[in-house]
Structure 1
Amino acid sequence: ARKNLARSKLRTSVSIIAIAIAIIAVVFIRGMITGMIESTYSNHINYKAGHIRVIDEEYKLKERLLSLYYPVDGFNGEAAAQMAEKLKEVEGVEQVIPRLKFGAVVDQEDELVRMMGWGVNPAEEIKFTKIDKNITEGRMVQLGNREVVMGAGLMKKLKREVGGKVTILYTTPFGSFKGSTFEIVGKAQSPLPMINDSIFYLPLDQAQRILEMPDQVTELLIITPDYNKTSLILPALNELFAKEDKTGKYSLQVWNKDYELIELYEMALNVYNFIYIFIIILASFALINTLIMIVNERTREIGMMTALGLKSREILYLFTIEGAIIGILGSAVGAVLGG
């Protein structure tokens, strides 16, 4: 088979190169697309959904307004912290992260700068999102202190520096418009514009205090060992909520369900898989064309092999070996160069 392929080195080389280019394209494009989508999934999980999110059923409809009227206040109002402890007892739950999100503004030179406050448990947040890695100046907030960490872009808008003070205006669930002053103890620099330009972190207990929402949060994020296997613990969680949640007001949102953007990305992945197959099929035409030319050139040789007693199956096997060699060489070159 090697000698036969060497008869027309140019033709064989062109076939190998065509297959190699196709493999390189598939490896490169697939790696790039997969990397981009995985990064999007990671950001979505870290800053939006967790692996499973516990929210009030009504909050889902009002989330864009950052409504505080539908909090997570525990099973039958027993407190969000106690609910979190019960969730941690479920097998497969590694972490439960409380967040209290609310809208706020700062009056900056007669202009209102809109932003979003995240009341968080600093230890849980650092463990999950590694937010401390993004803090380029200062430190993360600490429970019990009237302090905030702001995105670098937001601090620039407000013309504030680490160590300075900022008075934040907000509305409580009871409709009261209030203001509170905090010390800025850290500046976060994130590749995400939302974190950079709109978000500030404050201790969860301080957020609950100023908003008059004791033991309440807007969401609890449940973290599992592997987000791709989240569905495995859903039955146990559903059983817990069926037993404990007498009001039936809570909803469990899996990270890739009920989120339009994520569903679009999953559809895009399927489309890209068809594109990869199409590229490989196009490259295979070069191999098929080469084999057809080889067969046409060796008609007399095929006749001689038949006369010598070789069966059609054995002759076909010889040509199949030649095609396999071209395919394997092209794939190997493409995999090495593409990787």
Structure 2
Amino acid sequence: MKSFDVARTAFGNTMRSKMRTALTVIAIVIGAFTLTVTSGLAAGVNQTVDDMVAGYGDEDQLFIMPAAAMGMGEDTGPGPQEYDPDAAHQESEFGQAMLSDEDIETIEGIEGVTNVDPIFFVSPDYLEAEGTQYTLSSLGFPADSMAMELVAGDAPSRDAMEITIPDTWLTMFDEDAADYEDIDPEIALGETVEIGVSNMVLEQDTVEAEIVGVSTQNLAGIGGAPMPSHALNDELYEIQNSGLDIERPDAYVQAVADVDGLADNEQRLKEALQDEGMVGMTLEDMLGIIQSVIDAIAWVLYGFALIALLAASFGIVNTLLMSVQERTREIGLMKALGMSSGKVFGLFSMEAVVIGILGSVIGVALGLGGGFLANGWLTGSGGPLSTVGGLTLFALNVPALLAILGVIIVIAFLAGTLPAARAAKKDPIEALRYE
């Protein structure tokens, strides 16, 4: 019997008991479906993160903040601590630890750092558009503008008095619209707004800015608040820090350092900053927690899928053992006609593989179809996750799919070896006498 004949016969034999085979295949389908959806989910979110990282361009940048602001300051234990006037990062704004001018000089002095761009923390009072004032408790950081997901316009120019607004704020320009998604984002471009900010003695002043872009919030939260240009942010800070006769030292919420060969010097730079009480993070570091959570969820789902496949493997064993029992005389006849034990083993092993192929192909197809449909519904217009800009919830991962098919076929083959070996060992004379 040729290999093609073995495969054809194996397929026909699996269809003898359709109900029993179908139940076994369904168990494999569940496992294959779960594996496919899980791999697609992990691939989709990781693709989103990669796209966001790519949005920052080719420049090697390190985002630097005080260790205390990141909850990574020195662990001094419980109870009140003695005040140290010489301690680093005593400068603070609204109770938040800040970088000082000395810190910026320290960063500039680290080998490999070519430029440092300090960012002021600004807390304006309101944004006024078309005669109406809207609460504006905070602004985005100008350094994050390159990673914004824009639905219209461009990111603010560094030296111009420009700003972007999130798409959820479009109702400022069309209050009659039922939802901001019904408003053309182009309506806001070129509009002038006023931003009100209070100084140290609570006197308000305003700064005009032109809207040059409309953003949508991405997975990292960037784009969910108005994003000022560097020039606008600095102007607002000057007003916020004025009003007193004394001169207050500048304080920065973060600094963005350009580094030559960041990939080769990343660990050294981070250690140097840590020694100075600061934390340096790449964008991959900041988004890494998202990937870690998704990867953890994926491994849990992989575990459930493998449990389903383990249960399915017992189903294959049971199905083929019953098949061997029912076809004892047929096995005896095949061997009496000259079919070798190896061919008998191959025939029953192939039946197990056929069951594995059927279940894996159906499960993968259902997983891909369900994944892409869910991705379109959840992230598409009007979907629950449509407000997360640039989000890809499910993506095609060809190597993972091939691995899933391979693993399932191997599991099916291994599950079929016991029944196949039992069939191959049967004595043809005894098998022919079996009733």
TM-score (norm 1): 0.66
Residue 57 of structure 1, CA deviation: 0.7
Which of 26, 47, 65 lines up with 1:55 in the alignment?
A: 65
Alignment of 1:144-159 (within 5 A): 144-154=159-169, 156=171
Q: Mark the CA change 1:4 to 1:238 in structure 2 (over 3 Å): closer, same or farther.
A: closer
**C-alpha displacement at 1:297, in angstroms?**
1.0
Q: In 2 relative to 1, CA 157–170 (structure 1 residues): closer, same or farther, beyond 3 Å?
A: farther
Q: SS of 1:251's equivalent?
A: strand
User: Does 1:106 find its partner at 2:126?
Assistant: yes
Report SS of the residue matched to 1:134.
Answer: strand
The corresponding residue for 1:238 is: 267
Counterparts of 1:31 and 1:179, CA distance in 2: 53
1:86 aligns with 2:86: no
Q: Deviations over 1:136-163 (max 9, x none)?
A: 2x54322222222222323535989542
Match of 1:186 in 2: 212
Gaps of 5+ in 2: 1-5, 73-91, 176-186, 239-248, 369-435
CA distance 1:236–1:14, change in 2 (3 Å)? same
Distance 1:273 1:8, change over 3 A: closer
- CA gap of 1:74–1:284, structure 2 versus 1, over 3 A, is farther
The whole-number CA distance in structure 1 between the counterparts of 2:55 and 2:214 is 14
The 1-side partners of 2:366 and 2:275 are apart by: 59
TM-score by length of 2: 0.54
Distance 2:274 2:347 in 1: 72
Q: Does residue 199 of structure 1 match 2:234? A: no
**Deviations 1:270-307 (CA, angstroms, capped at 9, x unpaired):** 21111221233344344333212211112234456677
Deviates more, 1:290-299 or 1:32-41: 32-41
Letter in 2 for 1:240: L
Query: 1:58 offset after TM fit, Å?
Result: 1.7
Query: Are residues 4 and 267 of structure 1, via their aligned partners in 2, closer, same or farther at CA, if it must alter by over 3 Å?
Result: closer
Once the two structures are superposed, residues 299-330 of structure 1 have per-residue CA deviations (whole angstroms, 9 ceiling, x without a partner) of 23445667789886764444223212332344
Does structure 2 conserve the Cα–Cα contact (< 8 Å) formed by 1:148 and 1:201?
yes
Show the 5 A alignment for 1:243-282.
Answer: 245=273, 248-253=276-281, 255=284, 263-282=292-311
Between the aligned residues of both structures, percent identity stands at 14
Q: Is the 8 A contact 2:209 2:232 kept in 1?
A: no
Secondary structure, aligned partner of 1:180: strand
Give 1 or 2 for the bigger CA radius of gyration. Answer: 2
What is residue 134 of structure 1 aligned with on the other side?
A: 150
Structure 1 segment 109-124 matched on structure 2, within 5 A: 113-120=135-142
Deviations 1:48-82 (A, max 9, x none): 9x9964211122149xx9858644468843287x4
* 2:242 matched residue in structure 1: none
Decide which moves more: 216-225 or 51-60. 216-225
Aligned AA (2:41): I
Cα 1:286–1:181 shift into 2, 3 Å: same
Measured at CA, do residues 100 and 79 of structure 1 come closer, stay the same or move farther in structure 2, by a change above 3 Å? farther
Change (3 A) 1:4 1:203: closer
1:323 corresponding residue in structure 2: 352
Contact 1:22–1:283 (Cα < 8 Å) also in 2: no
Aligned counterparts of 1:149 and 1:84: Cα–Cα separation in 2: 34
Map 1:62-73 → 2, pairs under 5 A: 70-72=97-99
- 8 Å Cα contact 1:119/1:205 also seen in 2: no
User: What is the aligned partner in structure 2 of residue 220 from structure 1?
Assistant: 256
**Given that residues 100 and 204 in structure 1 are in contact (C-alpha distance below 8 angstroms), is that contact kept between their aligned partners in structure 2?**
no
Is the 2:162–2:210 contact (alpha carbons within 8 Å) kept by the matching residues of 1? yes
CA 1:144–1:6 in structure 2 vs 1: closer, same or farther (change >3 Å)?
closer
3-state secondary structure, aligned to 1:118: coil
Contact 2:191–2:211 (8 Å) recurs in 1: yes
The range that moved more, 272-281 or 38-47, is 38-47
Does the 8 Å CA contact 2:65/2:98 hold for their aligned counterparts? Answer: yes
Cα deviation, residue 16, structure 1: 7.8
RMSD: 5.0
Contact 1:139 1:185 in 2 (8 A): no
Do structure 1's residue 21 and structure 2's residue 36 form an aligned pair? no
- Secondary structure of the residue aligned to 2:353 is helix
Long gaps (5+) in structure 1:
90-95
Instruction: Say which SS state the counterpart of residue 305 (structure 2) adopts.
Output: helix
The 8 Å contact of residues 126 and 134 in structure 2, kept in 1 or not, is answered as yes
SS at 1:116 equivalent = coil
In 1, Cα distance between equivalents of 2:168 and 2:298: 33
1:9 is matched with: 15
Query: Structure 1's 34 and 40: CA in aligned 2 closer, same or farther, altered over 3 A?
Result: same
State the secondary structure of the residue aligned to 1:218: strand
Contact 1:115/1:200, CA 8 A, preserved across alignment: no
